[in-house]
Structure 1
Amino acid sequence: MPSTHDIATFHDPPVPEGQSPYVGGAGPSTDVDVVESKAIWPDQFRHLEARIRRALGWRVLELEHVGSTAVPMLPAKAIIDIDLVVADPNDERAYVPALLDEGFELRIREPWWFGHRVLRHGEPACHLHVCGYDSPETVKHRIFRDWLRANPVERDLYAAAKQQAAAEAFSSGEHSMQYNARKQKVMREIYHRAFFATGLLDS
Protein backbone atom coordinates (compact mmCIF):
# COMPACT_ATOMS: atom_id res chain seq x y z
CA MET A 1 0.00 0.00 0.00
CA PRO A 2 1.21 3.56 -0.65
CA SER A 3 2.24 5.66 2.32
CA THR A 4 0.23 8.59 3.66
CA HIS A 5 3.04 10.89 2.54
CA ASP A 6 2.99 9.58 -1.02
CA ILE A 7 -0.78 9.89 -1.27
CA ALA A 8 -0.70 13.53 -0.15
CA THR A 9 2.28 14.41 -2.38
CA PHE A 10 2.08 15.30 -6.06
CA HIS A 11 4.64 13.31 -8.00
CA ASP A 12 5.70 14.94 -11.27
CA PRO A 13 8.83 13.05 -12.36
CA PRO A 14 10.47 14.29 -15.55
CA VAL A 15 10.48 12.06 -18.58
CA PRO A 16 13.87 10.29 -18.66
CA GLU A 17 16.22 11.60 -21.31
CA GLY A 18 15.74 9.91 -24.65
CA GLN A 19 12.35 8.42 -23.76
CA SER A 20 8.77 9.33 -24.56
CA PRO A 21 5.61 8.29 -22.71
CA TYR A 22 3.70 8.05 -25.98
CA VAL A 23 3.50 4.70 -27.73
CA GLY A 24 3.80 4.33 -31.50
CA GLY A 25 4.06 7.99 -32.35
CA ALA A 26 0.98 8.99 -30.37
CA GLY A 27 0.84 12.38 -28.69
CA PRO A 28 -1.40 14.47 -26.45
CA SER A 29 -5.03 14.59 -27.46
CA THR A 30 -6.32 17.77 -29.05
CA ASP A 31 -9.75 17.17 -27.46
CA VAL A 32 -10.33 19.91 -24.87
CA ASP A 33 -14.11 20.04 -25.26
CA VAL A 34 -15.82 20.13 -21.84
CA VAL A 35 -19.54 19.30 -22.00
CA GLU A 36 -22.36 19.20 -19.49
CA SER A 37 -22.70 16.08 -17.36
CA LYS A 38 -24.42 13.16 -19.12
CA ALA A 39 -26.69 10.63 -17.40
CA ILE A 40 -25.27 7.91 -19.67
CA TRP A 41 -21.71 8.09 -18.28
CA PRO A 42 -22.23 5.65 -15.35
CA ASP A 43 -23.82 3.15 -17.75
CA GLN A 44 -20.87 3.50 -20.11
CA PHE A 45 -18.53 2.76 -17.22
CA ARG A 46 -20.48 -0.35 -16.27
CA HIS A 47 -20.35 -1.54 -19.89
CA LEU A 48 -16.59 -1.04 -20.02
CA GLU A 49 -16.12 -2.56 -16.57
CA ALA A 50 -17.85 -5.76 -17.65
CA ARG A 51 -15.64 -6.05 -20.72
CA ILE A 52 -12.44 -5.43 -18.76
CA ARG A 53 -13.37 -7.96 -16.09
CA ARG A 54 -14.30 -10.49 -18.75
CA ALA A 55 -10.95 -9.97 -20.45
CA LEU A 56 -8.75 -10.08 -17.36
CA GLY A 57 -10.64 -12.11 -14.77
CA TRP A 58 -8.82 -12.37 -11.45
CA ARG A 59 -5.99 -10.18 -12.73
CA VAL A 60 -8.23 -7.20 -11.93
CA LEU A 61 -7.28 -6.22 -8.38
CA GLU A 62 -9.26 -2.98 -8.43
CA LEU A 63 -11.38 -1.25 -11.04
CA GLU A 64 -12.82 2.20 -10.36
CA HIS A 65 -14.71 4.87 -12.30
CA VAL A 66 -12.75 8.06 -11.58
CA GLY A 67 -12.35 11.50 -13.06
CA SER A 68 -15.04 14.05 -13.80
CA THR A 69 -17.45 11.66 -15.55
CA ALA A 70 -17.69 9.81 -12.22
CA VAL A 71 -19.09 12.91 -10.45
CA PRO A 72 -22.79 13.66 -11.05
CA MET A 73 -23.53 17.16 -12.38
CA LEU A 74 -19.86 17.89 -13.12
CA PRO A 75 -19.02 19.04 -16.67
CA ALA A 76 -16.33 16.92 -18.28
CA LYS A 77 -14.67 15.83 -21.45
CA ALA A 78 -16.84 12.97 -22.69
CA ILE A 79 -14.20 10.35 -21.93
CA ILE A 80 -14.70 7.74 -19.21
CA ASP A 81 -11.64 7.57 -16.95
CA ILE A 82 -11.07 4.20 -15.30
CA ASP A 83 -8.36 3.15 -12.86
CA LEU A 84 -7.26 -0.48 -13.20
CA VAL A 85 -4.95 -1.96 -10.58
CA VAL A 86 -2.98 -5.06 -11.56
CA ALA A 87 -0.20 -6.97 -9.83
CA ASP A 88 2.56 -5.55 -12.05
CA PRO A 89 1.77 -2.91 -14.66
CA ASN A 90 5.25 -3.36 -16.15
CA ASP A 91 4.31 -6.94 -17.12
CA GLU A 92 2.28 -5.89 -20.15
CA ARG A 93 1.96 -9.45 -21.40
CA ALA A 94 -0.33 -10.19 -18.44
CA TYR A 95 -3.03 -7.73 -19.45
CA VAL A 96 -2.39 -5.74 -22.65
CA PRO A 97 -3.11 -8.49 -25.24
CA ALA A 98 -6.45 -9.34 -23.60
CA LEU A 99 -7.44 -5.67 -23.56
CA LEU A 100 -6.41 -5.24 -27.19
CA ASP A 101 -8.90 -8.01 -28.01
CA GLU A 102 -11.59 -5.86 -26.35
CA GLY A 103 -10.84 -2.88 -28.58
CA PHE A 104 -8.39 -1.02 -26.35
CA GLU A 105 -5.16 0.49 -27.67
CA LEU A 106 -1.99 1.11 -25.63
CA ARG A 107 -1.16 4.81 -25.90
CA ILE A 108 1.03 5.77 -22.93
CA ARG A 109 3.80 3.88 -21.13
CA GLU A 110 5.40 5.52 -18.06
CA PRO A 111 7.35 2.90 -16.08
CA TRP A 112 9.11 5.71 -14.18
CA TRP A 113 5.77 6.90 -12.70
CA PHE A 114 4.48 3.95 -10.66
CA GLY A 115 4.40 1.82 -13.81
CA HIS A 116 1.55 3.90 -15.23
CA ARG A 117 0.05 2.88 -18.58
CA VAL A 118 -2.92 4.31 -20.47
CA LEU A 119 -5.03 2.36 -22.92
CA ARG A 120 -7.60 4.16 -25.02
CA HIS A 121 -10.98 2.88 -26.17
CA GLY A 122 -12.98 4.53 -28.91
CA GLU A 123 -16.69 3.90 -28.34
CA PRO A 124 -17.56 4.60 -25.66
CA ALA A 125 -14.54 6.85 -25.32
CA CYS A 126 -12.37 5.73 -22.42
CA HIS A 127 -8.94 6.26 -20.94
CA LEU A 128 -7.95 3.19 -18.93
CA HIS A 129 -5.20 4.03 -16.43
CA VAL A 130 -3.23 0.99 -15.30
CA CYS A 131 -1.19 1.09 -12.09
CA GLY A 132 0.14 -1.30 -9.45
CA TYR A 133 -1.32 -1.83 -5.99
CA ASP A 134 1.38 0.41 -4.45
CA SER A 135 0.56 3.45 -6.60
CA PRO A 136 -0.69 6.48 -4.63
CA GLU A 137 -2.38 7.88 -7.73
CA THR A 138 -5.37 5.55 -7.59
CA VAL A 139 -6.00 6.50 -3.96
CA LYS A 140 -5.75 10.20 -4.86
CA HIS A 141 -8.30 9.75 -7.63
CA ARG A 142 -10.84 8.10 -5.33
CA ILE A 143 -10.42 10.76 -2.65
CA PHE A 144 -10.90 13.56 -5.19
CA ARG A 145 -13.93 11.87 -6.76
CA ASP A 146 -15.64 11.24 -3.43
CA TRP A 147 -14.84 14.74 -2.15
CA LEU A 148 -16.45 16.35 -5.20
CA ARG A 149 -19.47 14.04 -4.96
CA ALA A 150 -20.06 15.09 -1.36
CA ASN A 151 -19.24 18.81 -1.65
CA PRO A 152 -21.27 20.71 -4.27
CA VAL A 153 -19.39 23.98 -3.64
CA GLU A 154 -16.08 22.29 -4.46
CA ARG A 155 -17.65 20.57 -7.46
CA ASP A 156 -18.88 23.90 -8.82
CA LEU A 157 -15.50 25.53 -8.20
CA TYR A 158 -13.80 22.77 -10.16
CA ALA A 159 -16.42 22.98 -12.91
CA ALA A 160 -15.71 26.69 -13.39
CA ALA A 161 -11.95 26.04 -13.54
CA LYS A 162 -12.44 23.28 -16.11
CA GLN A 163 -14.68 25.37 -18.32
CA GLN A 164 -12.33 28.35 -18.21
CA ALA A 165 -9.30 26.13 -18.92
CA ALA A 166 -11.09 24.48 -21.85
CA ALA A 167 -12.12 27.82 -23.36
CA GLU A 168 -8.60 29.25 -23.06
CA ALA A 169 -6.95 26.07 -24.35
CA PHE A 170 -9.31 25.91 -27.32
CA SER A 171 -8.79 29.57 -28.26
CA SER A 172 -5.02 29.09 -28.05
CA GLY A 173 -5.01 25.85 -30.08
CA GLU A 174 -3.62 23.86 -27.15
CA HIS A 175 -3.77 20.14 -26.43
CA SER A 176 -5.13 18.23 -23.45
CA MET A 177 -1.94 18.40 -21.38
CA GLN A 178 -1.95 22.18 -21.64
CA TYR A 179 -5.63 22.19 -20.68
CA ASN A 180 -4.72 20.10 -17.61
CA ALA A 181 -2.00 22.57 -16.68
CA ARG A 182 -4.44 25.48 -16.84
CA LYS A 183 -6.75 23.91 -14.23
CA GLN A 184 -4.02 22.40 -12.08
CA LYS A 185 -3.81 25.19 -9.47
CA VAL A 186 -7.50 25.02 -8.57
CA MET A 187 -7.49 21.23 -8.67
CA ARG A 188 -4.58 20.97 -6.26
CA GLU A 189 -6.17 23.49 -3.89
CA ILE A 190 -9.26 21.26 -3.79
CA TYR A 191 -7.07 18.21 -3.27
CA HIS A 192 -5.37 19.93 -0.33
CA ARG A 193 -8.71 20.53 1.39
CA ALA A 194 -9.74 16.93 0.74
CA PHE A 195 -6.45 15.61 2.12
CA PHE A 196 -6.87 17.75 5.24
CA ALA A 197 -10.47 16.57 5.76
CA THR A 198 -9.46 12.92 5.47
CA GLY A 199 -6.57 13.31 7.92
CA LEU A 200 -3.76 12.95 5.40
CA LEU A 201 -2.52 16.46 6.14
CA ASP A 202 -2.29 18.39 9.42
CA SER A 203 -2.76 21.82 7.85
Structure 2
Amino acid sequence: MEKYGAGSIVVSDYDPNWPILFSQERTRIEQALGAFALAVEHIGSTAVPGLPSKPIIDLLVGVPSLEEARQRCIKPLEAFGYIYMPQYASWIPDELFFRKGPPGPWTHHLHVMEPSHPRWDARLVFRDYLRAHPDVARAYADIKRALATSSKDNIEAYRTGKDVFVAETTAKARVWRALAEDQ
Protein backbone atom coordinates (compact mmCIF):
# COMPACT_ATOMS: atom_id res chain seq x y z
CA MET A 1 0.00 0.00 0.00
CA GLU A 2 1.32 3.41 -0.94
CA LYS A 3 0.73 5.83 1.92
CA TYR A 4 -0.19 9.44 1.40
CA GLY A 5 2.74 11.63 2.46
CA ALA A 6 0.72 13.86 4.77
CA GLY A 7 -1.16 11.16 6.71
CA SER A 8 -4.87 10.88 6.03
CA ILE A 9 -6.08 12.05 2.63
CA VAL A 10 -7.94 15.33 2.96
CA VAL A 11 -10.09 16.86 0.24
CA SER A 12 -10.25 20.59 0.95
CA ASP A 13 -12.84 23.09 -0.22
CA TYR A 14 -11.86 25.01 -3.33
CA ASP A 15 -9.28 27.72 -2.67
CA PRO A 16 -9.40 30.73 -5.04
CA ASN A 17 -5.64 31.10 -4.52
CA TRP A 18 -4.93 27.87 -6.41
CA PRO A 19 -4.84 29.55 -9.86
CA ILE A 20 -2.49 32.20 -8.44
CA LEU A 21 -0.20 29.52 -7.01
CA PHE A 22 -0.23 27.79 -10.40
CA SER A 23 0.66 31.01 -12.20
CA GLN A 24 3.59 31.66 -9.87
CA GLU A 25 4.86 28.11 -10.33
CA ARG A 26 4.43 28.26 -14.11
CA THR A 27 6.75 31.28 -14.13
CA ARG A 28 9.38 29.36 -12.11
CA ILE A 29 9.15 26.35 -14.43
CA GLU A 30 9.45 28.53 -17.52
CA GLN A 31 12.54 30.13 -15.97
CA ALA A 32 14.03 26.72 -15.17
CA LEU A 33 13.36 25.10 -18.54
CA GLY A 34 13.26 28.03 -20.94
CA ALA A 35 12.04 27.30 -24.46
CA PHE A 36 12.32 23.55 -23.83
CA ALA A 37 8.97 23.85 -22.01
CA LEU A 38 6.53 24.01 -24.92
CA ALA A 39 3.53 24.51 -22.63
CA VAL A 40 2.74 24.58 -18.92
CA GLU A 41 -0.87 23.70 -18.04
CA HIS A 42 -2.79 23.70 -14.76
CA ILE A 43 -4.48 20.31 -14.46
CA GLY A 44 -6.18 18.29 -11.77
CA SER A 45 -8.91 19.38 -9.44
CA THR A 46 -7.19 22.59 -8.32
CA ALA A 47 -7.59 23.77 -11.94
CA VAL A 48 -11.40 23.58 -11.79
CA PRO A 49 -13.08 26.56 -10.08
CA GLY A 50 -15.26 25.44 -7.19
CA LEU A 51 -14.01 21.84 -7.15
CA PRO A 52 -12.78 20.52 -3.79
CA SER A 53 -9.34 18.92 -3.98
CA LYS A 54 -6.31 17.68 -2.19
CA PRO A 55 -4.45 21.00 -1.84
CA ILE A 56 -1.76 20.06 -4.37
CA ILE A 57 -1.23 22.09 -7.53
CA ASP A 58 -0.86 19.75 -10.53
CA LEU A 59 1.15 21.04 -13.47
CA LEU A 60 1.57 19.49 -16.90
CA VAL A 61 4.68 20.48 -18.82
CA GLY A 62 4.99 19.71 -22.51
CA VAL A 63 8.44 18.96 -23.89
CA PRO A 64 9.56 18.08 -27.42
CA SER A 65 11.29 14.86 -26.33
CA LEU A 66 10.88 12.87 -23.14
CA GLU A 67 14.27 11.26 -23.64
CA GLU A 68 15.89 14.68 -23.92
CA ALA A 69 13.86 15.86 -20.90
CA ARG A 70 15.54 13.19 -18.78
CA GLN A 71 18.84 14.92 -19.55
CA ARG A 72 17.68 18.55 -19.51
CA CYS A 73 14.88 18.90 -16.92
CA ILE A 74 15.70 16.99 -13.76
CA LYS A 75 18.54 19.17 -12.40
CA PRO A 76 16.92 22.55 -13.20
CA LEU A 77 13.63 21.44 -11.61
CA GLU A 78 15.42 20.08 -8.57
CA ALA A 79 17.00 23.53 -8.17
CA PHE A 80 13.44 24.88 -7.75
CA GLY A 81 12.63 22.33 -5.03
CA TYR A 82 11.13 19.52 -7.13
CA ILE A 83 11.98 15.92 -6.32
CA TYR A 84 12.09 13.54 -9.28
CA MET A 85 10.15 10.33 -8.55
CA PRO A 86 11.45 7.71 -11.04
CA GLN A 87 9.60 4.94 -9.19
CA TYR A 88 6.34 6.36 -10.60
CA ALA A 89 7.31 5.33 -14.15
CA SER A 90 5.47 2.01 -13.71
CA TRP A 91 2.25 3.82 -12.77
CA ILE A 92 2.55 6.72 -15.21
CA PRO A 93 4.79 5.61 -18.08
CA ASP A 94 5.99 8.01 -20.74
CA GLU A 95 6.31 10.94 -18.37
CA LEU A 96 8.62 12.28 -15.71
CA PHE A 97 6.91 12.86 -12.36
CA PHE A 98 8.09 15.30 -9.69
CA ARG A 99 6.82 16.40 -6.28
CA LYS A 100 7.49 19.61 -4.45
CA GLY A 101 7.10 20.39 -0.78
CA PRO A 102 8.43 18.84 2.38
CA PRO A 103 8.20 15.06 2.52
CA GLY A 104 4.48 15.48 2.94
CA PRO A 105 2.37 17.38 2.67
CA TRP A 106 3.28 17.89 -0.96
CA THR A 107 2.35 21.25 -2.44
CA HIS A 108 2.90 20.57 -6.16
CA HIS A 109 2.94 17.64 -8.57
CA LEU A 110 4.67 18.14 -11.91
CA HIS A 111 4.09 15.88 -14.91
CA VAL A 112 6.52 16.25 -17.83
CA MET A 113 5.52 14.61 -21.12
CA GLU A 114 5.32 15.07 -24.84
CA PRO A 115 2.09 16.84 -25.90
CA SER A 116 1.60 14.13 -28.54
CA HIS A 117 1.04 11.53 -25.82
CA PRO A 118 -2.67 10.57 -25.49
CA ARG A 119 -2.62 11.27 -21.74
CA TRP A 120 -1.83 14.94 -22.46
CA ASP A 121 -5.09 15.41 -24.32
CA ALA A 122 -7.03 13.28 -21.83
CA ARG A 123 -5.96 15.44 -18.89
CA LEU A 124 -6.82 18.69 -20.66
CA VAL A 125 -10.19 17.61 -22.03
CA PHE A 126 -11.19 16.19 -18.62
CA ARG A 127 -10.26 19.49 -16.95
CA ASP A 128 -12.09 21.56 -19.57
CA TYR A 129 -15.21 19.40 -19.33
CA LEU A 130 -15.36 19.77 -15.55
CA ARG A 131 -14.91 23.52 -15.90
CA ALA A 132 -17.84 23.68 -18.33
CA HIS A 133 -20.10 21.23 -16.42
CA PRO A 134 -20.39 22.19 -12.73
CA ASP A 135 -22.89 19.37 -12.10
CA VAL A 136 -20.30 16.80 -13.23
CA ALA A 137 -17.66 18.53 -11.12
CA ARG A 138 -19.99 18.26 -8.09
CA ALA A 139 -20.46 14.53 -8.73
CA TYR A 140 -16.69 14.16 -8.94
CA ALA A 141 -16.32 16.07 -5.66
CA ASP A 142 -18.72 13.65 -3.95
CA ILE A 143 -16.69 10.68 -5.18
CA LYS A 144 -13.42 12.26 -4.05
CA ARG A 145 -14.73 13.06 -0.57
CA ALA A 146 -16.12 9.53 -0.12
CA LEU A 147 -12.85 8.00 -1.31
CA ALA A 148 -10.80 10.23 1.00
CA THR A 149 -12.87 8.99 3.93
CA SER A 150 -12.74 5.30 2.95
CA SER A 151 -9.12 5.27 1.76
CA LYS A 152 -7.73 7.04 4.85
CA ASP A 153 -4.00 7.24 3.93
CA ASN A 154 -3.98 4.70 1.06
CA ILE A 155 -3.35 6.99 -1.91
CA GLU A 156 -3.42 4.12 -4.41
CA ALA A 157 -6.97 3.20 -3.33
CA TYR A 158 -7.96 6.86 -3.60
CA ARG A 159 -6.48 7.17 -7.11
CA THR A 160 -7.86 3.92 -8.49
CA GLY A 161 -11.26 4.57 -6.93
CA LYS A 162 -11.66 7.51 -9.32
CA ASP A 163 -10.62 5.57 -12.44
CA VAL A 164 -14.07 4.60 -13.72
CA PHE A 165 -15.50 8.09 -13.25
CA VAL A 166 -12.48 9.70 -14.91
CA ALA A 167 -12.53 7.29 -17.88
CA GLU A 168 -16.27 7.68 -18.46
CA THR A 169 -16.13 11.47 -18.09
CA THR A 170 -13.12 11.74 -20.39
CA ALA A 171 -15.00 9.79 -23.07
CA LYS A 172 -17.98 12.17 -22.71
CA ALA A 173 -15.60 15.13 -22.78
CA ARG A 174 -14.08 14.01 -26.07
CA VAL A 175 -17.54 13.79 -27.65
CA TRP A 176 -18.43 17.20 -26.18
CA ARG A 177 -15.28 18.78 -27.62
CA ALA A 178 -15.78 17.15 -31.03
CA LEU A 179 -19.34 18.50 -31.19
CA ALA A 180 -18.12 21.97 -30.21
CA GLU A 181 -15.42 21.86 -32.90
CA ASP A 182 -18.01 20.90 -35.54
CA GLN A 183 -20.09 23.99 -34.84
- RMSD, matched Cα: 2.1
Aligned ranges 1:136-147 → 2 under 5 Å: 136-147=118-129
Number of residue pairs aligned between Structure 1 and Structure 2: 171
Among candidates 160, 170, 176, match of residue 191 of structure 1? 170
Task: Show CA shifts across 1:40-71 (max 9, x none).
Answer: 10111011101000111101011100000000
TM (normalized to structure 1)? 0.77
CA distance in 2, matches of 1:130, 1:28: 23
Task: Give every structure 1 segment of 4 or more consecutive aligned residues whose post-TM-superposition deviation is greater than 6 Å.
Answer: none
The question of 1:59 aligning with 2:36 is answered yes
Task: Indicate the SS of the match to 2:127.
Answer: helix
Task: Indicate the SS of the match to 2:71.
Answer: helix
Tell me by how many angstroms 1:197 deviates.
Answer: 1.6
CA distance in 2, matches of 1:88, 1:128: 16
Tell me by how many angstroms 1:187 deviates.
Answer: 2.2
Aligned ranges 1:18-167 → 2 under 5 Å: 29-31=4-6, 32-91=9-68, 92-108=70-86, 109-110=88-89, 115-122=94-101, 125-167=107-149
On the 8 A contact 1:84/1:128 being kept in 2, the answer is yes
CA distance in 2, matches of 1:34, 1:182: 14
Which 10-residue stretch deviates more, 177-186 or 72-81? 177-186
CA distance in 1, matches of 2:90, 2:71: 14
Task: Show CA shifts across 1:128-175 (max 9, x none).
Answer: 0011132111111110111111111111111111111111101xxx42
Which 10-residue stretch deviates more, 93-102 or 114-123? 114-123
CA distance in 2, matches of 1:29, 1:131: 24
On the 8 A contact 2:126/2:166 being kept in 1, the answer is no
Tell me by how many angstroms 1:188 deviates.
Answer: 2.0
Percent identity over the alignment is: 30
Tell me by how many angstroms 1:30 deviates.
Answer: 4.3
Q: What runs of 5+ residues in structure 1 fail to find an aligned partner?
A: 1-26
Q: What runs of 5+ residues in structure 2 fail to find an aligned partner?
A: none
Tell me by how many angstroms 1:29 deviates.
Answer: 3.0
Q: Structure 1 residues 89, 28: CA separation in 2 closer, same or farther (over 3 Å shift)?
A: farther
On the 8 A contact 1:106/1:117 being kept in 2, the answer is yes
Task: Show CA shifts across 1:15-56 (max 9, x none).
Answer: xxxxxxxxxxxx653452111000110111011101000111
TM (normalized to structure 2)? 0.85
